[in-house]
Amino acid sequence: MTGFRRDVRNADQSRRWSGLCLLVLAGLAIPPRVLRAEELSDAPLIPPTAAWTFLGGSWTISHGSLEQTDDSGQPQAVYRGASVADPTLQVRFRVNRAGNGVQAAGLILNAQDSARGYFIHFDTRFDQVILFRGDIMADGNEITRKNQIAMDPDRWYTARVQVRAGRIEVYLDHKLLLTANDRTYAEGLVGLYTSQGSVEFSDLKVTGERAAATSQWNIKSARMSVATDQELATILEPQRVLCRQGYIGWPSIALAPNGDLIAAFSGDRTGHISEDGKTQISRSSNSGKTWSPAITIQDLRIDDRDAGIICTAKGTMLVSWFTGPPYGTDRQGHYVIRSTDNGKTWGQPIRTPVTTPHGPIQLSDGRLLFMGQRPHSSHTTPKDYNGTPDGSPHKVSISESRDDGLTWKIIADFPVPAGDRMLSYDEVHAVETSPGRLVALFRDCNPPDQLRQSESADGGATWSVPHTTPMQGHPPHVIRLRNGWLLAVYARRRPPFGQYACISRDLGGTWDVKKEIKLAAAFEGDMGYPASVQIKDGSIWTVYYQAERPGEPPALMGTHWTLKDVPATSR
């Protein structure tokens, strides 16, 4: 047998989304009625009628295995040799320990096109198995799931899914996990996919009744729209690009004293982690209708990341950030930079003792309060420590400035409970609900990825025992609206991907997740970090980062929206 190996990549290596390419499943024996695909093997190409179509990612086939090594997005591999009714698909998979996403392997059955079919999701990060009907990116398409299914990266598992007369059964290591009855798709193509993970597949077997030809199978664009009329909100301007400048990430937004909207972000980057990020802003002088090109306000010539921005009570614009690689230089740290002329010119960087993505907040007593990691967990040894607080090289601390951001000092350490993990108190943002009373929301990097909350009644000196909220996603940005409600926004980096908002009408006592607002849809998990500001007419601008189309680097994007049933006097 002739050896064969082929990488499936886009010719433009700067883009992660590849075009359509073909590989084949060799060794097919196809009787008149029954399809049997017994194994993957190295072999010359056979006719395209018995071919694989690859949508995105970086795929290789070698030594009986099919591997996808790009740990971003949701690449698909679809077998187009035959359409199958009542299929059984069995495959061994191993998710490699790579990237920061959900690290999931997936199976596709009865596919009509790239967005319609049954998708079975084996999520090793959050230890769950999910069955979707139709577009995995869209809301409302989950059929069923099972949580607390322990799956470890770098270990082989056997997955099997079978469909019989509308009954779907999902097995892992020969144990039945999910059952459902659904007749939406009676027949179609089979395939594999990955979600934010590098995955190796082997020992693929497919059986089923040969069905009608699938010549109409094609690629459907990712669903990138949300309902404009939602129960609690009206989307005035759906998600759109506000600014492009290489790779853009981790934005925040504020109103300047002259009424301009200013979004701050890390831009002009080559990737999610790279040594060339710059702190940049984009400005709108007409309530968000148009936005300026990116303006660099500082560049330490290492990775400047995660920009927060506020307007202080004295009219100062203050931008915060922290540094990424290269680590260990004298420039490593966390900083703020100040402007006293509506963000037109900026002073020199000022070091801060703590950092968090959306930066400090203004309190009614005139202080600036900055709550976050001390130092950032990527600056410690070991990096990104996620054990209990007694062994942690970093703390979660509260600092204050009494001189409008010129100097900072620590006033308290947040009391992380002794048995909890440190990264359950990551990327915090706080809001003052009344003089001296604060509500802080934390990103929880551990399953089930729900925001945690704590309160202070004395301006940040002491804090209540934290509790888990019903809001799922990260990281939080929270503000108090003019009608007294709290607005929290966060991203969901698992299907269905997107930017979300939630309201509390009782100053953080409860959160109305049943009326959660979807502000934007996304097709992959490298996105998010939304932040909001309420403008003069009472409407809200929320900015975030994500790619507009597959294969493009993330841009600064925004959604303009308003809440329903808000008294006119509070707008």
Residue 221 in any domain: the answer is no
User: What per-residue confidence (pLDDT) applies to 22?
Assistant: 27
| One domain for residues 430 and 511 | yes
Residue 323 in any domain: the answer is yes
Residue 217 in any domain: the answer is no
The rounded Cα 351 to chain-centroid distance in angstroms is 29
| One domain for residues 190 and 237 | no
Taking the C-alpha atoms of residue 424 and residue 375, their distance in angstroms, rounded to an integer, is 16
Residue 219 in any domain: the answer is no
Hey, what amino acid is at 568? A
Residue 224 in any domain: the answer is no
| One domain for residues 310 and 185 | no
* Residue at a domain's end among 147, 176, 210: 210
Q: Please, are residues 432 and 365 in contact by the beta-carbon 8 Å criterion? A: no
| One domain for residues 45 and 192 | yes
Buried b (16+ CB within 10 A) or exposed e, 197-227: bbbbbbebebbbebbeebeebeeeebbbebe
| One domain for residues 204 and 329 | no
* Residue at a domain's end among 176, 210, 244: 210
Residue 115 in any domain: the answer is yes
Taking the C-alpha atoms of residue 112 and residue 128, their distance in angstroms, rounded to an integer, is 25
Taking the C-alpha atoms of residue 553 and residue 244, their distance in angstroms, rounded to an integer, is 9
Q: Please, are residues 20 and 69 in contact by the beta-carbon 8 Å criterion? A: no
| One domain for residues 536 and 458 | yes
User: What per-residue confidence (pLDDT) applies to 216?
Assistant: 58
CA nearest 114: which of 163, 74, 143? 74
Specify the residue for token string 């996919």: 193
User: What per-residue confidence (pLDDT) applies to 221?
Assistant: 56
* Residue at a domain's end among 210, 244, 264: 210
Specify the residue for token string 């504020």: 254
Q: Is 119 helix (H, G, I), strand (E, B) or coil?
A: strand
| One domain for residues 183 and 299 | no
User: What per-residue confidence (pLDDT) applies to 35?
Assistant: 37
The CATH number assigned to the domain holding 88 equals: 2.60.120.560
| One domain for residues 183 and 241 | no
Give all strands (DSSP E) within 289-378, no chain letters. 295-298, 304-311, 317-323, 334-339, 350-351, 361-362, 368-374
Taking the C-alpha atoms of residue 184 and residue 110, their distance in angstroms, rounded to an integer, is 9
Task: Tell me the residue range of the domain where 54 lies.
Answer: 21-210
Hey, what amino acid is at 347? G
| One domain for residues 315 and 372 | yes
User: What per-residue confidence (pLDDT) applies to 244?
Assistant: 95
Q: What angle do CA 303, 528, 273 make, to 5 degrees?
A: 25
Total number of domains constituting the chain: 2
CA distances from 426 to 129, 373, 475 (A): 26, 7, 8
Tokens of 57: 């990612």
| One domain for residues 299 and 404 | yes
Residue 450 in any domain: the answer is yes
The CATH number assigned to the domain holding 511 equals: 2.120.10.10
pTM to 2 decimal places: 0.75
Total Cβ atoms within 10 A of residue 468? 13
Max alpha carbon distance in the chain (Å)? 81
| One domain for residues 176 and 277 | no
| Block mean pLDDT (10 aa), the chain, length 571 | 29 27 30 35 30 78 81 82 86 88 90 88 90 75 90 94 94 96 91 90 87 62 76 95 96 98 97 94 97 97 97 98 95 97 98 98 98 96 95 97 98 97 97 98 93 98 98 97 97 88 98 97 89 97 91 92 73 48
CA nearest 129: which of 163, 185, 175, 96? 175
Hey, what amino acid is at 546? Q
| One domain for residues 329 and 456 | yes
Taking the C-alpha atoms of residue 69 and residue 451, their distance in angstroms, rounded to an integer, is 30
Q: Please, are residues 215 and 201 in contact by the beta-carbon 8 Å criterion? A: no
User: What per-residue confidence (pLDDT) applies to 207?
Assistant: 86
Residue 216 in any domain: the answer is no
